[in-house]
Amino acid sequence: MGLSEESDIEPEAPDLSPLTIAILVTDGFEQAELLAPRQALESAGATVHVISDKTGRVQGYEHTDKGESVDVDCALSEASPEDYSAVLLPGGVVNGDALRMSPDARAFIQKINKAHKPIASICHGGWLLISAGIAADRTVTSWPSLQDDFTNAKAKWVDQEVVCDDNFVSSRKPSDIPAFNKAFIGLLREKIKELA
């Protein structure tokens, strides 16, 4: 899969340069679900920071095979939700499962949601929404194996490539990334228009 899905940027669309986006990950993230959205966000003008409970670098995977590692820009324990305009939650089973167990990650996403900032999750990234207690009464999608988890958390789970529900954008898997990027960037542009 190429990384240039967001090449059809509308000329009159708001530039995302006023925004700083947090990508919340740890080791075991699904490589395409971090790299492709990050490239799309940066191409649209946003500043993007990788935030993690690890220092130095975090290890990505292509399904079950080791992939690229990426630099961590800020420690999760030191990151302030007030400094970020939105959050991206890539998937990967190991990544998603570890982050949902992190009190710092749960607190971070709760504060982002309380401030009504955009939250974009893909694949297993949605587990953090459940464990943070912010999935109830929301319509979402994810990797299909999370369907029961979302249902038990009183969310409505649907099988679609992208779902937008207020400040949430969610997708199922790497092949959904073009639709995911378009929806997330569209939501961010709406936020910029509201601030104008």
Residue of 49, 63, 116, 124 marked catalytic: 124
| Residue 6 to residue 115: CA distance in whole angstroms | 27
In the structure encoding, which two tokens stand for residue 92, read together? Answer: 């990967």
- Is 124 catalytic? The answer is yes
> What's CA 95's distance to the chain center, in Å?
12
Of 67, 78, 31, 25, the closest CA to residue 48 belongs to 25
How big is the CA angle at 7 (ends 6 and 8), to the nearest 5 degrees? 95
Which sequence positions are flagged as catalytic?
124
